[in-house]
Chains A and B, each alone.
Chain A
Amino acid sequence: MAEFLDMGGHAATVWPAYGAAAAILIGLVVASVRQASRGRAELERLEGGTGERGGR
């Protein structure tokens, strides 16, 4: 395990690269899901009393 984590002496290159990629891509997924659910919730609130249906 220690050998794996050491990455042949290149731990300082490999792990920050994978970490940065994971942080950016997971952050993107979280932000995208939040944006979509916030938008849908807002739309439902607006359409609530009017009987207007969205999508078209």
Chain B
Amino acid sequence: MPSFPHSLASPARFRRLSRRVLPWASALAAGLLGVGLVWALGFAPPDYQQGDTVRVMYIHVPAAWMAMLCYAVMAALSASFLVWKHQLADLAARASAPIGACFTAVALITGSLWGKPTWGAYWVWDARLTSVLALFFLYLGHMALAGAFDDRERGGRAAAILAVVGAVNLPIVKFSVDWWNTLHQPASVLRLDGPAIHGSMLWPLLTMAAGFAAFYVAVLLVRIDGESAARRVEVLTRRRAAGA
């Protein structure tokens, strides 16, 4: 009986598992996001200072969390690809990058829209905003590098090195609000002394965050399937060209 991660590393087995998990992850994402949206837009209270603009939080914060989580997953997969050469790790890292880029774009755009009424500006070059913008460019760089070489393996390795080195940006994003004087507020939920946010806002926020996480899993599985098919197509095409 092979060990769990080893058996997962076989694309065929992964595909069977993925097909079983995908409907559940999709249904969970749809359900949680449905409930979360109604809760966030209809039932959560307006903020006593910000009024209804606070509703942007229910997408901005989960998107920003997922932007970081996706990158952490991508960096871990990339490291394991560099060390153990697991093809599945390469496929999953490639699959993760566009999803992370989308979450980061959502965090940046919603944050910018929220900034205008709250701070008086769509954008300021404070450490949090700037480091998240850098995160967005790291994702784009990863996608560009992964596809930049005729030899897929080389592209995968170059992108993996970028992902691992770029992971240094993650603590900078997280602690930027503590290390520097930022216009962006410090953490309200992920704090050592517990969340500083009322349950009436915390629960819809966590529901949306869980929905975003399930969404990530579902889209990741679809994209890994796509990446794995693309890789196989490339191998077959090359084999044919060599045989012809």
Contact = CB atoms under 8 A, between A and B. Distances in A.
Interface of A: 4, 7-10, 13-14, 16-18, 20-21, 24-25, 27-29, 31-33, 35-36, 38-40, 42-43, 46-47, 52, 54-56
**Ordered nearest first, which 10 A-B pairs have the shortest CB separation?**
A39-B229, A36-B226, A55-B12, A8-B52, A35-B226, A7-B52, A17-B110, A17-B113, A17-B56, A10-B52
Contacts of B98: 28, 31-32
A13 B12 contact: no
A8 B10 CA distance: 54
A17 B111 CA distance: 8
Contacts of B109: 17, 20-21, 24
Given A21-B106, A28-B219, A56 B42 contact: no
B223 interface: yes
A52 to B, nearest CB: 7
A31 B99 CA distance: 11
A4 B219 CA distance: 31
Contacts of B41: 4, 14, 18
Interface in B16-63: 37, 41-42, 46, 51-53, 55-56, 59-60, 63
B114 interface: yes
Interface residues of B, number: 42
Interface of B: 10-12, 15, 37, 41-42, 46, 51-53, 55-56, 59-60, 63, 98-99, 102, 105-106, 109-110, 113-114, 116-117, 215, 219, 222-223, 225-230, 232-233, 236-237, 240
15 contacts: A4-B42, A9-B51, A10-B117, A13-B56, A14-B53, A18-B37, A20-B110, A25-B106, A28-B98, A33-B222, A39-B225, A39-B226, A39-B230, A39-B233, A55-B232
Contacts of A36: 222-223, 225-226, 229
A52 B232 CA distance: 11
